[in-house]
Chain A
Amino acid sequence: MQVSINVNGTDYNAEVEPRHLLVRFLREDLRLTGTHWGCDTSNCGTCVVLLDGEPVKSCTVLAAMASGHSVRTVEGLEGPDGLDPVQQGFMEEHGLQCGFCTPGMMLTARALLDRNHDPSEEQIREAISGQLCRCTGYLNIVRAVRWAAEHQARAQTESPSQSETAGV
């Protein structure tokens, strides 16, 4: 069947089998392999992407269900000004070791920070409680998200003055 999915800002029109999962479409058809496949049973969360801004396990979404919607993957996190604060935070705070869970963790963190600029440790823990990491024991993941929150806040308090300057 024909689907039209916006992935990281680009519209993709593609022919997929109705049974194909979104994770398969991303990995196999678009070769966006930053979205990982770790368990087949919707437990691990290494396949988390943002569907219209909300984190979803892309192994629980059919490609057909994403048609007409926008998908953001790890490949779409980096902005024109460089790495997203979440990406930088995972590096700065050693929030990753093998890194297999990292894209899914970062996208969940991005969605959290989009609706809550200053999440508490408890809120961060709750946000990623549906995803598994086997290397880190999660503690540095929490720190990474906090790092992102703090640096994002700093960037946002700086940016209005910059735009004012640009306006002048």
Chain B
Amino acid sequence: MTVTTSTPVHKGIGGSPLRPDGTLKVTGEFAYSSDLWAEGMLYGSTLRSPHPRARIVRIDTSAAAAMAGVHAVLTSADIPGKKTYGLIADDCPVLAIDEVRYHGEPVAVVAADDLDTARRAAKAIVVEYEVLEPVSDMRRAAFDAESPRVHADRADNIVRYQPVRRGNPDAADLQDRVAVVVTREYEVGMQDQAFLGPESGLAIPTEDGGVDLHVATQWLHVDQEQMAPCLALPPEKVQLTLAGVGGAFGGREDLSMQIHASMLALRTKRPVKMVYDRRESFFGHVHRHPALMKYTHAADADGRLVYAKAQLLLDGGAYASTTDAVVGNAASLGIGPYECDDVLIEAYGLYTNNPPCGAMRGFGAVQACFAYESQMDEVAAALGMDPVEIRRINAVKEGSILPTGQRIEGPAPLREILDELVTMPMPPEPSLPEPGEPEPRTRVPGERWELPPGGYGNTTRGEGVRRGVGYGVGIKNICYSEGFDDFSTARVRLEISGGEPIASVHTAAAEVGQGLVTLQAQIARTELGVDHAVVLPADTQVGSAGSSSASRQSYMTGGAVKTACEAVRMEVIELARRKFPELLSDDESWSDIHLADGALHLGAGVATGARLLARLSDVLGTDVVEATREYHHRRTNPLDPETGQGDSHVQFAMAAHRAVVDVDVELGLVHVVQMDVVQDVGKILNRLSLEGQIQGGTAQGLGLALMEEIQTRDGLVRNPSFTDYLIPTILDMPPLNMRILEFADPNSPYGLRGAGEPPTLSSTPAIVAAVRAACGRPLRRIPLRPEQIALVEGYGDEGGEEDV
């Protein structure tokens, strides 16, 4: 297998044409969901629970309803249809029913003439609660039979338990080979997607009694599917159009204000707009599952893994959301991209009264990755081995068998990725100021940006600064797994306008910033040989595209657009054959016709002697050719509930990072000096968009390593603001050097691999490993806190056992 390089086609696949939405986004005209406006519209507001767990004794809406300018005050009693919804299990109340199960759960909604009135009215609703003891410790939720149950109708607090058993890690004959055994516990805090555009949308009642909702979401059709029964409407009376999306990262996969605004619009017969403020946004969407993980890795003297055991607890919070699938990922990818024949992984997704958790970039694979990569470093250290070498020795490759029994089909070039990574240049060594030289923070920025850890706040002369280098590798499943058919649909139309052929592409796929609109047009240009391709607004007037998640849209909606283009192309050729049968001689075949440069050619390219047959404008005339196609990935299978065996995943993608950090070991502060990343993407479809995904994914992994955590105490969220929930600024983000490999996947469109998530996985453990190398502390909980690095021995690492 060789590394290939792309030859860019003008504005087609492999090129980097400008985003079609770019002009609107730089002129301020792009309409985000929070910018929408309709004549006569009302504003909605939500009353949320102040308690993580309480019984609702009484709700009195009379004072709120009597306020001037208030048009509706609705509680669960007013839900027109089904009172609960959910992506996998429908256990989440539209508005709290008799009980609240997390801090911030919606209890009532209000519509009023303006936002201030709506908020005041929400505050005027009287709710009498009987406060109950919350289930806030996921260990108790999992294993304490005395723990209260979050959902009284369930036998326990376990959303899903998924073991994966391969071989027998306890087999006596394995022990002879074991040179080291490392058992450690790890913890991951609750990360937030922190998209900048708040949850928002505009619901407009229609004349036929339905509702049109303009909303920022990741999957229009799954919103529709969940909304319609709750609104007691047939799905066709609930139409959705994608409004401008200000980032998503998984946080818009679950419903937020969709049903609430629609209920209010149906009740008031007026358009209703809802926009969360930042505080409400922290309560208004699910987060990344916090995790407690206990791992044992055993290796032989050469560093080869002999067996591995892992127990992962994932805190799903009050409602199921996508916890089921997150558990499936954590279990099936639990020891990462390494070969090991004797494995036991046990993954639990739990109900607690903490904030609900669901999808965030990396989806279950992120938490496991932090643990298994930390373990690989521990094993290497115990053996005195190089951290890259131990990963090379154990790396999966094409044909490797994962713990689930699934064989990796197609390239799995982890060794090639690592070999590339170690050739990348390192930054210059840090230097302490000489006596008499100014302290680092006052240096005039020179060639390179080198603030000390802590930036301008660091008043030392850098005496406590130590440099560290660390590595991280991640493996992510692409597309939905475990038997789910997450197909996508595309409608492609080709016609002549102003003498020029124009392709228009219509899908329901959500552009959330990743650049899917650019890619759809690139595919249409490449497949139809036209210059002008238009991507129509995404809505529910065309079939489902599935979600903009799981790094799947290039694969799935890309595949659908490609397939629909192929159908259009065949019809165009058929049209040519009917209209101009004389174009080809008897020994030439219509199946050898290609579309390029707005014309039909015999043969694949001008360079190979292709012959121009006819312009598309002549072939089409006033005819319009249109095709709608669904694209399905190959079938997958559920994991066996007892053994965890099954071909559960469609495709795998891998990335590796190297992080270089400066750590002030006395102050506990970290400055990431440089990061390097290598990722295999199968095929580069759009280099600019791809690089943007890898850069952004790396930054979010950096955030999880160093700063991002929703902090809860007894179920109460303590930091719902950007003052207290920190995300990386540009001063936190180091230079990122990147190498991209193209080992084509024979089964995917163009050979591509989904690319958005893998860099989020590997970034985090690389940074933490680098900080460990600098400060010599175990650091088994993320995000890292200064006190873990600098203060009391073992602080924040209570769970970790010492060397076994």
A106 to B27, CA, bound (A): 10
Task: Tell me whether chain A's interface is mostly helix, strand or loop, or mixed.
Answer: loop
A21 to B723, CA, bound (A): 19
- 0/1 interface trace, chain A 129-148, chain B, CB 8 Å (1 if under): 11111111111111000000
Residue of A nearest to B115 (CB): A28
Residue of A nearest to B35 (CB): A33
Contact A129 B692 (CB under 8 A): no
Q: How far is the CB of B487 from chain A (nearest CB, A)?
A: 26
Residue of B nearest to A84 (CB): B26
Q: In the assembled complex, which residues on chain A have CB atoms less than 8 Å from the CB atom of B735?
A: 139
Within 8 A of A (CB), among B18-48: 18-19, 21-23, 25-32, 34-35, 37
Q: Which of A43, A99, A102 contacts B723 (CB 8 A)?
A: A43
Contact B25 A99 (CB under 8 A): yes
Contact B721 A39 (CB under 8 A): yes
Contact A100 B28 (CB under 8 A): no
Within 8 A of B (CB), among A72-91: 73-75, 77-78, 83, 87-88, 90-91
Q: In the assembled complex, which residues on chain A have CB atoms less than 8 Å from the CB atom of B512?
A: 98
Q: In the assembled complex, which residues on chain A have CB atoms less than 8 Å from the CB atom of B25?
A: 90, 96, 99, 102
The verdict on B689 contacting chain A, using a C-beta distance below 8 Å, is yes
Q: In the assembled complex, which residues on chain B have CB atoms less than 8 Å from the CB atom of A93?
A: 688
The verdict on B198 contacting chain A, using a C-beta distance below 8 Å, is yes
The verdict on B440 contacting chain A, using a C-beta distance below 8 Å, is no
The answer to whether A97 and B731 touch (CB under 8 A), given A87-B26, A122-B449, A140-B695, is no
Q: In the assembled complex, which residues on chain A have CB atoms less than 8 Å from the CB atom of B26?
A: 74, 77, 83, 87-88, 90-91, 96, 99, 102-103, 106
Contact B22 A34 (CB under 8 A): no
The verdict on B118 contacting chain A, using a C-beta distance below 8 Å, is no
A135 to B21, CA, bound (A): 16
Residue of B nearest to A24 (CB): B115
Q: How far is the CB of B417 from chain A (nearest CB, A)?
A: 20
The total number of A-B Cβ pairs within 8 Å is 181
The answer to whether A100 and B445 touch (CB under 8 A), given A37-B34, A132-B196, A135-B513, is no
Q: How far is the CB of B665 from chain A (nearest CB, A)?
A: 25
Most A-side CB within 10 Å, residue of B31, B32, B697 = B32
The answer to whether A33 and B28 touch (CB under 8 A), given A92-B18, A134-B194, A138-B699, is yes
The answer to whether A138 and B730 touch (CB under 8 A), given A34-B28, A99-B30, is yes
Most B-side CB within 10 Å, residue of A33, A44, A101, A131 = A33
Q: How far is the CB of A77 from chain B (nearest CB, A)?
A: 7
Q: Which of B277, B692, B736 contacts A40 (CB 8 A)?
A: B277
Q: Which of A32, A106, A134 contacts B249 (CB 8 A)?
A: A134
Contact A136 B449 (CB under 8 A): no
Q: How far is the CB of A135 from chain B (nearest CB, A)?
A: 5
- 0/1 interface trace, chain A 105-126, chain B, CB 8 Å (1 if under): 0100000000000001111011
Q: How far is the CB of A84 from chain B (nearest CB, A)?
A: 8
A102 to B37, CA, bound (A): 21
Q: In the assembled complex, which residues on chain B have CB atoms less than 8 Å from the CB atom of A132?
A: 196, 722, 727, 729
Contact B246 A98 (CB under 8 A): yes
Q: Considering only CB atoms and an 8 Å cut-off, how many residues of chain A contact the other chain?
A: 58
Within 8 A of B (CB), among A18-48: 27, 31-41, 43-44, 46
The verdict on B524 contacting chain A, using a C-beta distance below 8 Å, is no
Q: How far is the CB of B24 from chain A (nearest CB, A)?
A: 8
The answer to whether A43 and B722 touch (CB under 8 A), given A121-B449, A122-B445, is yes
Q: Which of A36, A97, A125 contacts B449 (CB 8 A)?
A: A125
A100 to B279, CA, bound (A): 18
The verdict on B139 contacting chain A, using a C-beta distance below 8 Å, is no
The verdict on B514 contacting chain A, using a C-beta distance below 8 Å, is yes
Q: How far is the CB of A161 from chain B (nearest CB, A)?
A: 29
The answer to whether A75 and B27 touch (CB under 8 A), given A41-B721, A137-B733, is yes
The verdict on A128 contacting chain B, using a C-beta distance below 8 Å, is yes
The verdict on B195 contacting chain A, using a C-beta distance below 8 Å, is yes
The verdict on B415 contacting chain A, using a C-beta distance below 8 Å, is no
Q: In the assembled complex, which residues on chain B have CB atoms less than 8 Å from the CB atom of A103?
A: 26, 28
The answer to whether A94 and B692 touch (CB under 8 A), given A39-B721, A41-B721, A138-B733, is yes
Q: In the assembled complex, which residues on chain A have CB atoms less than 8 Å from the CB atom of B392?
A: none
Q: Which of B23, B279, B695 contacts A136 (CB 8 A)?
A: B695
Q: Which of B34, B245, B445, B700 contacts A98 (CB 8 A)?
A: B245
- 0/1 interface trace, chain A 31-70, chain B, CB 8 Å (1 if under): 1111111111101101000000000000000000000000
What are 29 pairs between A and B in contact, CB < 8 Å?
A31-B37, A33-B28, A33-B32, A34-B29, A36-B34, A37-B198, A38-B722, A40-B277, A41-B278, A43-B723, A44-B278, A44-B722, A83-B23, A91-B18, A91-B22, A98-B247, A98-B513, A99-B513, A100-B197, A122-B449, A129-B731, A134-B700, A134-B727, A135-B247, A137-B697, A138-B730, A138-B733, A140-B688, A140-B691
Task: Please give the residue numbers on chain A whose beta carbons come within 8 Å of chain B beta carbons, in ascending order.
Answer: 27, 31-41, 43-44, 46, 73-75, 77-78, 83, 87-88, 90-94, 96-103, 106, 120-123, 125-126, 128-142
Task: Please give the residue numbers on chain B whose beta carbons come within 8 Å of chain A beta carbons, in ascending order.
Answer: 16, 18-19, 21-23, 25-32, 34-35, 37, 193-198, 244-249, 277-279, 445-446, 449, 512-515, 688-689, 691-692, 695-700, 721-723, 727-731, 733, 735-736
